[in-house]
Each structure stands twice: as structure tokens, then as C-alpha cells.
């Protein structure tokens, strides 16, 4: 007989209405590698008669290629859909499944246990209400168990099931269960979970999955599915303040202007007052438009278009909010960051920060500390490695709208995107804005860049020379400086070695220090350009991300990247400072081109080959380029 009750003998409309009225529980399964996460969900669906016959036919048998040993159906394959997952017997991607019982609807995310795929676990946990943490009863609490538990807590999950799995392999001994449950509660005491329900299970054979097992008569608690059906969820999200991140301004004709997006939290009704978060403009809701027609009211999760009573400036990246409970608008804040990428997170490096609807350049200004997931101790660190968690101060190029993550998960999260690869390299949960964001303001001045440029009869520019050590950057820049000076141009040259004698004397040559070196120089170059100068910057600047960061600091057309292209062998032959000989002998660490990478510019404004021409001829080429591009004659 099916676990599910048969549909009552009334009309289909009533049945659908009853189905729609059920609450929805989103939960994830997580834990260490091979703890049985996929098998558990497969067993739950199988025993509850929630698997279609064609799905059952396509499942492999335990003992077949890509499966464990035995003869019964391999239920893990119901969740592991990728070929690589079936071949290796592991979960790689997040697998989502929807199912419903007579009491509740469920959306489950089966997440991978391998440390390499922690980012996928974060994806599944970001929208979950509850986490099922699996532990192999033979191994107890492992580092990845701790990591997933900490991340679940960090991402706002407050309800947890500790599923002590593979209990058949320890002969269903109560002492094993009690010890693991006790140790886990001691570990999780500081994580802030509202509830932790420990359940001894055997996912392979179904013990305590949907019904009580005869093999554990000493266990008096609920089976897993029974608990999932009855666990009390957090208060309705409609109690939180109204938030609508604007995704699109709808303007099909001159008589209609609507602001489209998905309501992130709260509720809105026709006639309610709203405020544009960034500008503070007030208005009220004139209509709530949807694909199925206008609504009198709408709540979290609904995609709507709001028509306002007044003309306001609210484009993508802005937010319509409740006037009495506004979010923060700031360009500096503290956040917890989980790092995904093999390349470490470095303070000073520029990334793209993306929120629910906004995208802006951002820099980690300080890594305050790294969190030890075993002890929760705060440890000093200069960078975040893959899968590490840290607390950072972040500065964005323009103010963004946000809430503290603990108050609103939808409007308090963000991701970091690498500029060069466009890959998501980290995720963050905002803690609070920094007071300095409110205390520091631009001072208006009467004499601006335009006035200074007119006085000098020139247009400011930043000529950024990049290339290997010994490529000839400084020699060419110096020759160009003489040419421009002879024409009465106001210039200044920033050379890598010279700057390290003063402004950057505290920096070494690690990757983190190189990033900070370029950040400081770019800021100085920006100030000099604001003074109306033509700035010649001669730095190796090996990373594309930092060069892009420097470009974005300047006005459109002001930054000119000049790639001084000289083969490594030629640079080593010249070796004007004797550095290559030492680097090749292993006496200099982190030397660009030898023990540290140089990322070749992809689309520089000028590409100079120093093997074919002398420095003066190349300087004349740059001068001619400036004349053509900028009209300076």
C-alpha cells in the first residue's frame, strides 16, 4: 500500500486547492564524502512510493558499473544524474527534487560532499529552511561535516537533522548513536541552530527513514519523513519589511511605466507608500500588474510590475522599499565571505560584486580574520584559500542597497565574479555597513579637472606601460616623457622601482603585495590625472584584474594600456639589474616570468615589439597615437 493517502473523492479543483494550501519545506542533505546523502533521498522517495515506474526501470542495480556492491536497486542513481557522478559514485552537482505527502510539500537539494564542490553546497543551502547533516556511524564527525554545519549556520539555516547513517554496519548499537549525537551537539552549540533532531538511520535498508525501525527499539523519536512533515518552520517572511529589487523598467508605450521584479520580502498592496532606496524619492503603488492580471496585494516570491503614482528614478540595481523600514545604502560594509576558487582571495584585488539586481566593481579592503571551522577561532590571514571562510571589509565603486543577511537572506547576499574569467569565485553574507561610509564624503571643490586641463592646454591621460622586467618599459616611458616635455606638455612618470622606495616601501613581492602595489599606484595615477597631468605609469603589473581595476578608476578614454612585448629570453639576456640570473638560480621568489605568472594583455591600446625597434622610435609611435586619439597637436 502506498504511504500517500489516496486522493479524496471530491472534485479536482478542491484537491488542487488543498494541495496549494500545504506549507513548503526546502531542505538540503549535506555532510562528508560517501555518507549516503543521495541514497537517503532515493530511499525516502522509493519507500514513500514517490518514484515513477520509468524512473525505477532506469535505475542501476548495486553491483553494476558505477554502483556499490550487492543486488538491490542503487537508489543513489535517482539523484546522481551526471555521467561523471554515476561513474565515480559521488555527487558533483546539486540535484533538486520536488515531492509532496499528505501533510506538506518538499523541495530537497542533494549537495556534494567533496571539499572541492563546497560551492555547490553553498548554492543549495542558500534557500533552504532545514539541513539534513549525514554522518557515517563508523567514522563520526569529520572536517567536512564541520564545514557544512558551519556554512549552513552562516547561511541562515536554523533547523537541523543529524542523520547518523549506515547504522546497520555498527549493528544498531545505541552507544554509537549516543556518542555521535552528544559530540555533535557539543560542536554545534555555538552555531545558533534553533533545533537539532538526531535520528539513527540506514539509508540502504530504510531503517527510520519513513517509519520506525524494529532494529532500534531504544530510539523513541520520529522517523525522518515524520519529522520533516511536522517540524515548525520560521515565522512567515511576509512579516519582514517590503523589498522589491528592480530588475527591469517596463515601458511598452508612453502612457505606462512599471518597475518589474520579484518581491524579495514582505507584502505590498495598492495604495501603499514606497520609497526608492538610493534616492529616497517617495511615491505610492497605483497598480500591481502581473501576467495573469492586476492584483490588489502581492507577497514575497511573486513576480510583479509595480506602477507608481509618481515619476521616479528607479532603474535596475535600485530597490523599492517600505518607507518605515529602509535598507542600508552604502559603499563600504563588513561581510562573511566563503571562497570558492583555486586562486586565493587577495585584499586589494578588484572583483565584480553582484547582488540580487546590482553589479558593481568591488575590492576587499581588509581581511579581518579567517574562521577556523573546527574551533571557530579567529585566525590572522593575508588571503583566503579555496573553501575557507573569512570576515572582510569590502568597498564598492558605487553605493549598493542591502540588508544585513541575518535580517534578510535575499537582500543581504552577494557573489564575487572574477573579471578575467567571469567565474563565480566567492559568496558573501553582509553583516553591517561601516560607519566610515557615512562619515567620509567627497568635498566639493571649485577648481575641477576640466579647469586644470584647460590651463595646461592638454587632456589628462594615464599611459600604463606593462611588460616583463627588463622589457624596456621605463626606457620607453622616459623617452616619451622627454618628447612630451619638449612640446610643453605637463607630465609625471611613476616608475615601479622608484615608488617602492617611498609609497610602497612596506610591500614585498608576494601575489597579495603585488595586488596592493598596483592598487596604490592606480589611485595615485587617478589623482594626478585629476590634476590635469599626463601620467606615465611603468609597472610590470602582471595581473589582468589589477590592470582592469586601474582602467575603471579613470574616465572613459583616459586609460591607455601599452603592452611592451619582449620575449622572456631577450629580457633575461638584457638583465639590466641582474635579477633573472638570481631568479633562475632560485635566489628570488615570486619573480614574474620565472616563478610567478605574467598575464598578457588581451586588448591593449598599443602593442610594442621592442626587439624590432629602438626605444625612441617606439616613443614616437606612442606620441603619434596620442595625437590621433586625443587631438593634441
Check: CB of residue 164 under 8 Å from CB of residue 170.
no
The C-alpha atoms of residue 216 and residue 211 are separated, in whole angstroms, by 11
The three cell numbers of residue 426 are: 566567492
Query: How far, rounded to the nearest angstrom, does the alpha carbon of residue 384 sit from its chain's CA centroid?
Result: 13
The three cell numbers of residue 536 are: 606615465
The C-alpha atoms of residue 436 and residue 439 are separated, in whole angstroms, by 5
Helix, strand, coil percentages for the chain (3-state, nearest 5) = 30, 30, 45
The distance in angstroms from the start CA to the end CA of the chain is: 90
**β-strand partners of 119:** none
The C-alpha atoms of residue 573 and residue 472 are separated, in whole angstroms, by 12
Query: Reduced to 3 states, what is the DSSP secondary structure of residue 96?
Result: strand
The C-alpha atoms of residue 401 and residue 277 are separated, in whole angstroms, by 7
The C-alpha atoms of residue 112 and residue 604 are separated, in whole angstroms, by 41
198 an active-site residue? no
Check: CB of residue 334 under 8 Å from CB of residue 431.
yes
Residues contacting residue 565 through CB under 8 Å, at least 6 positions apart: 467, 471, 607, 608, 609, 610
Helix residue spans in 167-274 (DSSP H): 174-188, 224-230
Total length of the chain: 633
Catalytic residue (choose from 279, 541, 595, 596): 541
The C-alpha atoms of residue 366 and residue 372 are separated, in whole angstroms, by 18
Phi-psi region of 278 (alpha: psi -120 to 50; beta: other; left: phi over 0): alpha
126 to 118, 154, 565: CA distances (angstroms):
12, 10, 46
Check: CB of residue 470 under 8 Å from CB of residue 574.
yes
Of 330, 307, 337, 301, give the one whose Cα is nearest residue 320.
Answer: 307
Instruction: Map grid coordinates 538491490 to a residue.
Output: 72
Strands 389-402 and 359-371 turn out to be antiparallel
Q: Output b/e per residue, 37-55; b: 16+ Cβ within 10 A.
A: bbbbbbbbbbbbebbeeee
Which residues are identified as catalytic?
541
Amino acid at each position: 500500500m502506498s504511504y500517500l493517502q489516496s486522493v479524496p473523492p471530491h472534485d479536482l479543483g478542491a484537491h488542487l486547492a488543498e494541495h496549494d494550501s500545504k506549507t513548503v519545506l526546502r531542505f538540503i542533505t549535506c555532510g562528508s564524502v560517501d555518507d549516503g546523502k543521495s541514497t537517503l533521498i532515493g530511499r525516502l522517495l522509493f519507500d514513500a512510493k514517490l518514484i515513477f515506474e520509468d524512473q525505477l526501470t532506469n535505475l542501476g542495480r548495486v553491483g553494476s558499473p558505477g554502483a556499490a556492491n550487492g543486488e538491490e536497486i542503487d537508489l543513489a542513481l535517482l539523484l546522481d544524474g551526471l555521467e561523471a557522478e554515476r561513474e565515480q559514485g559521488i555527487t558533483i552537482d546539486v540535484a533538486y527534487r520536488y515531492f509532496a505527502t499528505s501533510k506538506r510539500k518538499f523541495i530537497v537539494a542533494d549537495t556534494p560532499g567533496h571539499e572541492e564542490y563546497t560551492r555547490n553546497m553553498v548554492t543549495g543551502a542558500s534557500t533552504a529552511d532545514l539541513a539534513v547533516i549525514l554522518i557515517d556511524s563508523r567514522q563520526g564527525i569529520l572536517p567536512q561535516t564541520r564545514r557544512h554545519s558551519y556554512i549552513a549556520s552562516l547561511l541562515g539555516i536554523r533547523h537541523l537533522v543529524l542523520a547518523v547513517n549506515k547504522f546497520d554496519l555498527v549493528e544498531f548499537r545505541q552507544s554509537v548513536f549516543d556518542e555521535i549525537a552528544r559530540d555533535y551537539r557539543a560542536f554545534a552549540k555555538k552555531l545558533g541552530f534553533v533545533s537539532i533532531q538526531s535520528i539513527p538511520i540506514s539509508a540502504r535498508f530504510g531503517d527510520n527513514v519513513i517509519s520506525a525501525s524494529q532494529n532500534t527499539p531504544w530510539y523513541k523519536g520520529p522517523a525522518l519523513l515524520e519529522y520533516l512533515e511536522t517540524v515548525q518552520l520560521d515565522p512567515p517572511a511576509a512579516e519582514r519589511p517590503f523589498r522589491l529589487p528592480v530588475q527591469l523598467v517596463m515601458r511598452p508605450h508612453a502612457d505606462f511605466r512599471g518597475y518589474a521584479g520579484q518581491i524579495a520580502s514582505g507584502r505590498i498592496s495598492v495604495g501603499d507608500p514606497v520609497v526608492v532606496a538610493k534616492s529616497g524619492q517617495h511615491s505610492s503603488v497605483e497598480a500591481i500588474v502581473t501576467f495573469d492580471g492586476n492584483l490588489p496585494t502581492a507577497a514575497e516570491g511573486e513576480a510583479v510590475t509595480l506602477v507608481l503614482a509618481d515619476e521616479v528614478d528607479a532603474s535596475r540595481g535600485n530597490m523599492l522599499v517600505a518607507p518605515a523600514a529602509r535598507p542600508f545604502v552604502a559603499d563600504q560594509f563588513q561581510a562573511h565571505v566563503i571562497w570558492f576558487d583555486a586562486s586565493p582571495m587577495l585584499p586589494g584585488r578588484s572583483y565584480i560584486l553582484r547582488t540580487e539586481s546590482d553589479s558593481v566593481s568591488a575590492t576587499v579592503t581588509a581581511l579581518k580574520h579567517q574562521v577556523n571551522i573546527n574551533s571557530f577561532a579567529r585566525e590572522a590571514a593575508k588571503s583566503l584559500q579555496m573553501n575557507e571562510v573569512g570576515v572582510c571589509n569590502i568597498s564598492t565603486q558605487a553605493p549598493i542597497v542591502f540588508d544585513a543577511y541575518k535580517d534578510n537572506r535575499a537582500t543581504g547576499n552577494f557573489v564575487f565574479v572574477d573579471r578575467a574569467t567571469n567565474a563565480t569565485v566567492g559568496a558573501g553574507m553582509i553583516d553591517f555597513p561601516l560607519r566610515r561610509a557615512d562619515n567620509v564624503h567627497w568635498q566639493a571643490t571649485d577648481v575641477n579637472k576640466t579647469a586644470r586641463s584647460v590651463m595646461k592646454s592638454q587632456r589628462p591621460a594615464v599611459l600604463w606601460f606593462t611588460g616583463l622586467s627588463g622589457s624596456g618599459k621605463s626606457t620607453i616611458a622616459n623617452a616619451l616623457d622627454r618628447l612630451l616635455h619638449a612640446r610643453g606638455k605637463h607630465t609625471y612618470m611613476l616608475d615601479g622601482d622608484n615608488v617602492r622606495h617611498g609609497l610602497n616601501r612596506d610591500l614585498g613581492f608576494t601575489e597579495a603585495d603585488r595586488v596592493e602595489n598596483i592598487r596604490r599606484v592606480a589611485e595615485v595615477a587617478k589623482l594626478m590625472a585629476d590634476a590635469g597631468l599626463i601620467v606615465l605609469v611603468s609597472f610590470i603589473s602582471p595581473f589582468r584584474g589589477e590592470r582592469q581595476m586601474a582602467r575603471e578608476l579613470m574616465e572613459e578614454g583616459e586609460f591607455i594600456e601599452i603592452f611592451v612585448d619582449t620575449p622572456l629570453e631577450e629580457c633575461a639576456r638584457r638583465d639590466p639589474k641582474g635579477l633573472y640570473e638570481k631568479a633562475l638560480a632560485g635566489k628570488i621568489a615570486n619573480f614574474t616570468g620565472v616563478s610567478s605568472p605574467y598575464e598578457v594583455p588581451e586588448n591593449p591600446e598599443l602593442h610594442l615589439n621592442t626587439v624590432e625597434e629602438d626605444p625612441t622610435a617606439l616613443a614616437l609611435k606612442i606620441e603619434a597615437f596620442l595625437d590621433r586619439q586625443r587631438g593634441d597637436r
